[in-house]
Structure formats: C-alpha cells, structure tokens
Amino acid sequence: MTGATLDGIGLTKRFGGLTAVDDVSVRTEPGSVTALIGPNGAGKTTLFQCLTGSERPDAGQVLLDGVDITRRTPDARARLGIGRTFQRLSVFPTMTVADNLGVGAENRTSAPAALRIAALLGGILGLPVVNERKHRPRVEEVLDLLGLGEVRDTVAGTLPTGTLRLVELGRALCHDPRVLLLDEPASGLDTNETQHLQDVLRSVAESGVAVLLVEHDVDLVFDVADRVYAMAEGRLIASGAAADVRSDPAVLEAYLDVSVS
C-alpha cells in the first residue's frame, strides 16, 4: 500500500460558547502509528471528526499530502484514500462477514456513487456483490490478516462485539486506505483480541499506511504507537514519542490520574 501524510493544522472547533478543539495541530505519517489520547471531554472525538470531514473546523486546515481538503466531504475524503472506523459499531448485520468486507472493496472502484449504492443495497438484500470476483483476492487477504476466515460466511449480526470490531476494521482495510483513522478500535475486545489488534495495526503501518487511532486503552496505545498526542480541555498538553508522553507530568496528572507535585 502507498500511504499519505495527513495534517491537521491549527484546528479549532466551537459549539456555541464552548471551544471543543482549540488551535490543535497533529500529523500522521505513512508507515507509522499515531495515537490521540485524553480524558473524556478532552476534544479527541471532535478533532477526529474534523479530520474525517464529519465536522468542519471553524479555523485551521486539514491537508492530505499537502493538499487542502478542509472543505471536502467524508465521502470525497474516502475516495482520496482516507479510511475510518466508528466508535459505535457500523456493520451491515444482515450481510455475511465476507460481504461486509466486499462493500469496502467495492468502494475502491471509480464507479459513480449511484452504482456503488446499488451494490450496497444488493448486498443487504442478499444479492451478489457487484464485481465480487474482481475484489475477492483482496477480501480473502484481509480475512486472513484479521483471522476472520472461520467466520467469513457467518451473518455479521450473530457475532460478538469484539469480532465485529475486526469486521469493521476489515471493511476499512479492503478500501485500500492511504490513511486509516480508527475511533476506539479496542472497545469490546478481550485481552487476546487486543493483542491481535496490536499486531494488525503494526502490520498495516509496516505496509506503508498512515494509522491514527483515538483510544482509551493506554496499554495498547503505548505499546503500538510511534507518536502520541495528548489532549485535555480541547488543547494539546503533550506530544512526542510514546515513552516521552507516558512520563510527561501534564499527561500523568490530566489523563493517567497521577498527581505530580
């Protein structure tokens, strides 16, 4: 895979009189895992939404390989190679695991939106996914990477939350993203699944993709991330190598609940 650099520069987002994100800059580079941490209400999700296009910042820019995409829609960003997962599970429960991944693979095409939507609706209704044969090798590759081969033909709605997290990740990977944005990917995973996720994230980054995750599991973050950004009250309080951020006094006090006097 060929990755891309995603920059958020001086991003600010206000909701009425509340400044949820206050002049924050982050960078995610190809071949590396970047993590965004902070307590509840720190502004992580709002920043993430600005990067994905779900929210438009009041100030600042979002750049993809130096090109301004601040005003691009989420769909347009996806077509440019930005893949994402969601904090709340977003899978098609009546479709099999393989067909869920096939939807992501189908979106790699340059087909008009109407045809892609028709393919999606057909899959939900149990009809063959358009170009299934064309995309099958990529689907099988991702099923193998995520260890989902045994449930490839299982209807997604019958699977536990931890497995569905991997299905959602698999769908994003089948889109062949240049940048992969993950919103709490370890939520609902047990210890073994979290360890497997860590291995997958490292493998994805080593393939050249730029990976950014928002995550509450600090052990996962500090084990897998090359660079960590820590937020509190809408602002960055620390950034740098994982080991440096983990020992930063401001992070210990604001996020890890360790008082530093």
Rounded to an integer, what distance in angstroms lies between the CA atom of residue 145 and that of residue 76?
27
The lowest-confidence range among 21-35, 55-69, 190-204 is 190-204
pTM over 0.75: yes
Alpha-helical segments (H) within the chain: 44-52, 74-79, 97-106, 113-124, 132-146, 161-174, 191-206, 218-224, 242-246, 249-254
pLDDT greater than 90 at residue 226: yes
Q: What is the pLDDT of residue 200?
A: 93
- 90-176 is classed CATH 3.40.50.300: yes
Q: Does 1-81+178-261 match 90-176 in CATH topology?
A: yes
Residue 111 has pLDDT above 50, yes or no: no
Which 3 state secondary structure label does DSSP give 105?
Answer: helix
Is residue 114 pLDDT above 60, yes or no? Answer: no
DSSP-derived 3-state class of residue 196: helix
The helix or strand, by DSSP H or E, that contains position 106, with its residue range, turns out to be helix 97-106
The model's pLDDT over 41-86, given as tens digits with 9 standing for 90+, comes to 899 999 999 999 999 999 999 999 999 999 999 999 999 999 999 8
| CATH H-level, domain 1-81+178-261: superfamily | P-loop containing nucleotide triphosphate hydrolases (3.40.50.300)
CA 120 to chain centre: 21
Question: At how many degrees (to 10) do helices 97-106 and 161-174 cross?
Answer: 30
- What are the structural domain ranges in the chain? 1-81+178-261, 90-176
Contact 254, 74 (CB under 8 A): no
